[in-house]
Every structure is written in C-alpha cells, then in structure tokens.
Structure 1
Amino acid sequence: MSFKHKILALIPLSVKKNAIFNRLVKYYEVFKYRKILKESPKHYESVIREFKSKNSKIRFGVYIAYDSMFGGKKLCEIIKNDDAFEYVKFVIVPNTMRNKEQMIATYNATKDFFIKHYGNESVIDGYDEKSGEFLDRSSLFDAVYIASPYELDKHKFHSLSYLSKQNLLPFYLQYAFSHFKYGDHVIAAVPGVSFLWRVFLNNKFEYDGFKKFSLSSGKNAKISGYAKMDDFANSQIKNRDKKRIIIAPHHSVKSQQLKIANFLYYYDLILRLPKIFPNVEFIFRPHPHLFINLENYGFWDKEKIQNYQNEIKSCMEYSVGGDYLEIFANADGIIHDCGSFISEWLFSGKKGCFVSFDGAVFNQLSKFGKEALKFYDIAKNQNDIIEYVKNVENEKFTNLNLQDVGKNITINYPNASKFIVDEIKKTLKSE
C-alpha cells in the first residue's frame, strides 16, 4: 500500500464523502500528475503516427485477471473477423492483492477459461508460476483493452500507469454499470484511468461523473454503451419445465467504501429455499471474492466455507466464473445485491429482487443507481425474498418496459462493441 493510501485509510469515511474534500484531493492529484496529464495526448499522437507509418495490421490485446470481469466477448469476435487486425491475444494478469495461494488459483482458473474459449495459442502468461516472475507483454500490442481500472492489485507491468507510457493505445471499458457513488469517487478518480487513450462509458450519468472526478475531467472518455451485454442478444433460450431463479450475493462483507453485501443476513435462507419451493430451480452464483473475503476477514473459516458450498451443491446448481449471459437469458428471476447485476439483469426485461436488509445501499447509490433500482422489488428481510420467489413461480410479474429501461441502460445495444472497434480503426487506420 502506498503512503498516500495509508494516509487516506486513516481519514474517516464521512470526510471522504464530503464534496469539498474530494475537490481538494482532485486538485492535489491534478497538480501532482500535471506533467503526465499534459504529455499523455502528445504521447498517443506519436504512437498513432508511428503505427500509421508502418502500414501494418493492428495487434490487439486484452489484459484480464478475472473471467467474470471480461466485457469484450462481442468486441473480440468482431476484431477476430476484421482484416484490419492481425490477432487477439489474452494476457492473464495476477491479482497481487491476494495471498500467493489465492492469486495462483485465480490466475489458473482465468487462464483455463480463456484457453477453453479462445484456444491455447491466444492466451499469454503475464506471470511465470515456476520462477515467480511477472512478465511484460506490452511490446506485442498496438491496442490493449484493460478489463480492470484498479492499480493496487496489479504488478507494475500490468498497470494502467505503465501501459499508458508504452508504444500502444490502452483503453478501459466499464466491467459494470456505475450504480454507486463509489464508481465516481473511487474508479473515476484512479490516476491511471486519466492517463489512458480512451475510457468507454455506458451512459451520460457515468460521463458526467468522469468529468467531475477524473483527473482528465473526462477528456479521454466517450459514451459507447455497455459492450459486455452485446452478446446477450445472441443467447440461446432453452426449454424448461420449472421456473429458474439466480441467487447472486456480493462480496463486500467488510468494505467501508462499498457496503452492499447482505449474505450474512440470509445465507441460511438460501439453503432452505429449494425445500420451500420444490418446483423452482435455483442457481447460486456468488461473487468470485465472496468466500475469499469471508475467510480473509475472519467471518468463516475454511471448514465452514467448504461445508456450506457442499450443502449448496447438494440442493441447487452452483455457478462459478465465466460467461453468465446464457444463465441470465434462461432465468425467470434473480435475487442479488451485486452492483454490476442491477442493470445487467434489466436487459432480460424481467423483474429482479435486490437485497438490502439494513438499507445501507440507499445512501451509496448514484443518480443512475436510483433510476435503475426503480425496476426492482427491494427485499428488506427474508420474508420479502420468499414473497418474490412466490410471485416469480406464479407468474405475477409483467415484463418491464424496455423503452423506459433503454433511456439510460441499453444505449447502442447490441452494437456498443462495434462502436469501440470503429473508434480504434478510425484512430489507427484512417488516412
């Protein structure tokens, strides 16, 4: 942890949320990074000129630590079939904030996912497990999609700040909708995000947040729509006899910056639901960090976690990692407290249930988050969850008005990925 983050950790959360405090922090950061903020646009102009002088195809890379954060399935599909690009390669990035055992386990799971879906020749190691060496792969690419905006969980070679200085065009597209003030106060304010060639945002709410909180004042940002959901339009709907409901608890059991997890309030109910509703199929899909955080923060030990996971697997489907759009398409409802799923589920046109037993979420919502949750039932206790399942089972809900949803959520759907690819080509291949 850097000295700056150690100091920030000592400051009360109430102070961090203060608008004046945030402006002062931004002014300080802009002054601190004024040189690189000034030089970044010139650097990218130089990168573009040099690339055009070679008259070559675009070598495209994805830097990814978790398959669940991957928002570029359609993006990579378009690039793979476009003659302007030489290849698409996936650099697997270790999360250095985890202990070594967890880091390697996650690294290998992510690597296996991309090998399975894109082939061994398309996957590149960002880490050598035998030597413990972190690998710089930046020279292999002309344009790079960075799936995570955070800096502290990466080795230098895989960070936004480092890639922004290399001979390539790095960009970030949102791995989730920004439903919380956290998205503005934390993600937009990450210095490295402002050093990137582009930041592709989902809607005007997010763009306004980037203008206000990013060090670049949003000068490198564009509204593209939410590329991650483009492939949802191609989902295969399967015939089924029973209603299916996803249960997706968030990981933030200890977080002070984003306090939305309710798992410890209703983990016992999750196990009872299949008995209460034998004619409903449940799919348990926890956030990848949930059980890691339960152990790391001392809530549950490994034995309790293993026992709970075994019980879950004995009574319902357990879904971990990977592409979940097919699961969404083939479900009739969802019970969750995950920020990213709030708007993603709305693409289905079905009513969802958002869990907030202590009501903490409502103090953290952005303006956009408040708009998105209007389309949900809110569960304030276990009985509310049971009532929601009853309503799904008995088909009491009507489909959502996607025209209303589309004003802020389904922008450019299902062509947000094409918008981004066109932006890359327009920059690197135009005369």
Structure 2
Amino acid sequence: MPKAITSSFRAVIVKVMPPFVKKPIKKCLSLAVHLKVFPKKVYMALVLPLKHERLLTKAKGAEPIRVLFVASSFASWKVDQVVAAMRTGSRFETTVLLGRLSNRMGEAIAADEHRKLSSHFKNKGFDVVDTFNMDDAEIRETIRQIDPHVVFITNPHSLITKALHQEILSQRLTCYVPYHHEVVAYGNNREQYDQLSHNALWKVFAPHQTSRSYYRKIRMKGDKGVVVTGLPACEPLFERSRRFYYHWKSQAGDKLRIIWAPHWLIRPDLKLATIYELGDAMKDLAWRYRDKVEWVMRPHPFLKPTMVNHPGWGKDKTDEFFKFWTESDFAQIEEGDYIDLFQTSDAMIHDSGSFLAEYLCVDKPVMYLKTETTAENYLNEFGQLALNACEIGRSIADIEWFINRLLAGEDPNKDKRKTFINETLMPLYAEPPSQKICQELIGDFASTTEQSVQKVHR
C-alpha cells in the first residue's frame, strides 16, 4: 500500500471510526507493515554481519582508521568527546559530515539545526564536510572520496536523506552512540531497539547494562556488537577541577540559578511533557520569584513547533510565551551546548528523558515533573533508579516547595542522589566512555600481528 494512502487511511481511522472498528483495522495495518519489513530485518540481522566481517578483514591494520561522523540535529549530537579523543593521536582520521535534517517539523527547523551544528563544529575546530545543499548523488560521491572505514550515525530514525542513512547502514561498518541516556521504555520498545537501523549496526556503544539487556531481549540481532561504555557526552559533567563559564544575565544581586527543561512529547505510548498543563503556571512562578531566582529555559528543539500546533496553545500564545522567557531580565532560553550551563547552575526542574540521568552527573538538586497524564510507567529499570534520586513534582505547589527549600540552603534528596551517583554512575564512568570506544575500535582493526602481541601482554 503506498505510503500516502496508508497515512490518509490512518488519519480517517483515528478521526471517524468507532473504537470497536478502529482497533482491528489498526492491528491489520500494523501486521501489514511488519510483514513488509520482516524480510529486510532478517537480512540486516543475519546476512549483513557477514559483509561486516569482510569489510573488517579487508581493513585490518589500517593506519589511520578513517572515521566519519554523520550529524543533522544538535540535540542528537552526543559524540564531541569521541571525536576529540580520536584527534589526540595518529591512530584515527576523523571527518564530521553535516547533513540536512528531514522530518515533519519543516525546513525552518532543519536550517536552524544546520546553523547550530555549523557554529558548534567551528568552535570545536572539527574537520567538517557540509552536505546540507547537496543532492544524493553528490553526497554519495563525497562519501566515496572520504572512503571511511567506520561511520558513526547519531540517530537511528530515518530523519536524514537515504544516502546518509539506509545506504550507509547497508554498505559500511556503522556505529551508534545513543543520543539520549536510554531511560525510557514504551510500547513494545522496538522503536528504540529493533528498527531496521538497529539491526544493521555493526557496533552499539550502550550507556548502561539495562540498555544492553533490552537489545538482547528485543532486537532480532540480539546484543551482538553491543558494548556498554557509558555515554561520552557525560564525561565533562563529572569534571570538578576546571572552571566553567556560562553567560548568565547580569543580576542586581545573588540569585538562585535554576534550569527548567520542558520536553515536547506526549503521545499514547510515551507521555513525558508537562508543559501543556504547567506552562502558564511556570511562567507566573518565574515572575513571582524574579527577585530570588534566575532562570534558563532549556526546551527540546521540537517543543515550540509542537506548541504552535497544540489546541491549547497556538502560535500567538506560544510566541508570547517564548518572548517572556527570552526577554525577561531574570530569564533566558538556551538551545545550544549545555555543559557549562549545567555546571554553573544550582538546580534543575524538568521532565526530560536523557536529562533524568545526565543532570545527576553534576551532583546538584533536581526535581522531576509528572502530572496525572505522565508517569514513571515510561521508564526502564535504569530510569527508575535515576528517578528515585530526584525530588518528584506533581504540581506548581510542589515546585514552589522545592524552590523554597533551595533558597533556605537545603539540598532535597541529597542522600539518594549520592547513592545513585556512587553505586550506579561511577562504575560506568571510572574510565571515560570515549576512551573505551577508541580502544574497542583499535582492537577490532588491529592486524593479526598486533592482536597476537596484545594477547601475549594480557
């Protein structure tokens, strides 16, 4: 069935059909999609690994190992530390390829993501090839010229042109560092662990053991090639010795610095966002505490366009809302790199997925927001442990209580947070994840002679 017809048919089902008719039709459509994808998944999971073995055998002993990183969304780019680690020696040659984000959010979002990534890579001094305005034929030729031994994708979803996703997955040794801390569990979990892309990957560098166990249970390919390393993006969040700087707005006196990080997503099988219920009240709260608290709103990049289309918000209200957080002298919005922001803040209030674990790395007070329509039912075992290390907020009254405790010099839930850091996080980050990834690849590409020497020294 053509994709356009299928989408239109689904829309009709959702809008006009009664539940007793809708349910079996949706099941049939889902089965049809599954049957269409199944042979491709079998190929990716069972046949493609044979090609990976041939590619690896051919590249054994390569010096340097050519590594390509594909980027299209700033929120999905979590491999700065891997690129930096590879650039410190001569064993790797790295290139970052900047592509065009393609999703339902439109060209304005794609252009903004391109702008943010371009600026970020320039500041980092990375070697970048920009394919944003190239067609697929030009992109293929560019990749052919680079001829990477390994390609890192930064998002498993098809949110980029075919030449930078499906074709790379089927032709190269591909690696994936998750763009989030993999704390959620929803639906049948196949969207997170068992898409075609997940089965096509040569290596997955998982953030924790819970993630690997999900691959083992859910992915057709199992946990073959899944290596638990921790999340490289968290490395600088554990640093305590160097000085961090963030451009907080100048204030008349000392104020509490709080980050509010609202998520955008709320759908039947994954409900995280609380802003649609608490947004107006958060604005009022920020105004009431303007003499005591300085705020940074850290929205998900998809939040604003989603709010514009939300029946309870719309464009005018959303624009006014974002204007308040941008122009108030006690608040601002941050959509770029957040390492220095986290390190120079005093606390966070949020309903994010990945930040649930990431902010705990800086060992500061945090409140996680839930309402009647969002719940911890969408968290996996690792996520539940992280949640237990946070204060829980279910209302504006809870948030105000949290702020007042902080203003009084208290540290809510400190003991549980310390326990989570010491028992769950520190074992993962005792050795930097970026170094683990580099060593894994060096071992894979070592020549037969080098591997023999390594065995002798073990």
Q: Tell me the TM-score normalised to structure 2 length.
A: 0.82
Contact kept? 2:97, 2:131, Cα under 8 Å:
no
Matching residue within 233, 242, 258 for 2:255: 242
Q: 1:367 to 1:25 in 2, by over 3 A?
A: farther
1:350 aligns with 2:350: no
- Deviation per residue, 1:56-113 (Å, 9 max, x gap): 3122221112223221121111101121012332433422433233323332332233
Bigger drift between 323-332 and 350-359 goes to 350-359
Letter in 1 for 2:396: Q
Letter in 1 for 2:350: H
Is 1:173 aligned with 2:177?
Answer: yes
Contact 1:92 1:110 in 2 (8 A): no
Distance 1:272 1:297, change over 3 A: closer
> For the structure 1 residues 128 and 144, does the alpha-carbon distance in structure 2 shift closer, same or farther, using more than 3 Å as the test?
same
Find the partner of 2:198 among 193, 199, 202.
193
Q: Is residue 126 of structure 1 aligned with residue 131 of structure 2? A: yes
Q: Distance in 2 between matches of 1:107 and 1:379?
A: 35
- Give the greater-gyration-radius structure (CA): 2
| Contact 2:44–2:196 (8 Å) recurs in 1 | no
Q: Is the 8 A contact 2:41 2:199 kept in 1?
A: no
The answer to whether the Cα contact below 8 Å between 1:125 and 1:135 also exists between their aligned partners in 2 is no
Which of residues 57, 78, 86 is equivalent to 1:79? 86
Q: Is residue 409 from structure 1 mapped to residue 414 from structure 2 by the alignment?
A: no
Aligned to 1:89, which of 80, 84, 96?
Answer: 96
Matched-pair contact (CA < 8 Å) for 2:99–2:160: no
1:135 equivalent in structure 2: 139
Q: CA deviation at 1:115?
A: 2.4
Contact 1:71-1:227 within 8 A present in 2 as well: yes
2:423 maps to 1:418: no
Give the % identical residues. 20
Corresponding letter in the other structure for 2:186: Y
1:232 aligns with 2:237: yes
Following superposition, the deviation at residue 429 of structure 1 comes to 3.1
Deviation at 1:339, TM superposition (A): 0.7
Q: What do residues 368-405 of structure 1 show as CA deviations (whole Å, max 9, x unaligned)? A: 22221111111111111111111112121164453533
2:324 matches 1:273: no
Out of 238-247 and 276-285, give the one that drifted further.
Answer: 238-247
Aligned partner of 1:158 in structure 2 is 164
Q: Is the 8 A contact 2:274 2:369 kept in 1?
A: yes
Q: One-letter code of the match for 1:214?
A: R
Tell me the amino acid that sits aligned with residue 366 of structure 1.
N
Question: Any gaps of 5 or more consecutive residues in structure 2?
Answer: 25-29, 247-252, 449-458
Contact kept, 8 Å, 1:353 with 1:378, in 2: the verdict is: yes
Gaps of 5+ in 1: 17-21
Question: Map of 1:11-30 to 2, 5 A cutoff?
Answer: none
Per the TM alignment, residue 30 of structure 1 is displaced from its structure 2 partner at its CA by 5.3
> 2:275 is matched by which residue type in structure 1?
F
Give the equivalent residue in structure 1 for 2:454. none
Q: Aligned pair count?
A: 418
Distance 2:410 2:313 in 1: 37
CA RMSD between the two structures: 3.2
**Distance change >3 Å, CA 189–CA 26, structure 1 → 2:** farther
- Is residue 322 from structure 1 mapped to residue 336 from structure 2 by the alignment? yes
When normalised by structure 1's length, the TM-score is 0.86
Give the whole-Å Cα distance in 1 for the aligned partners of 2:138 and 2:193: 27
> Any idea what the Cα deviations from partners look like across 1:346-375, whole Å, max 9, x if unmatched?
112222111112252222222222221111
Alignment partner of 1:145 out of 131, 152, 156: 152
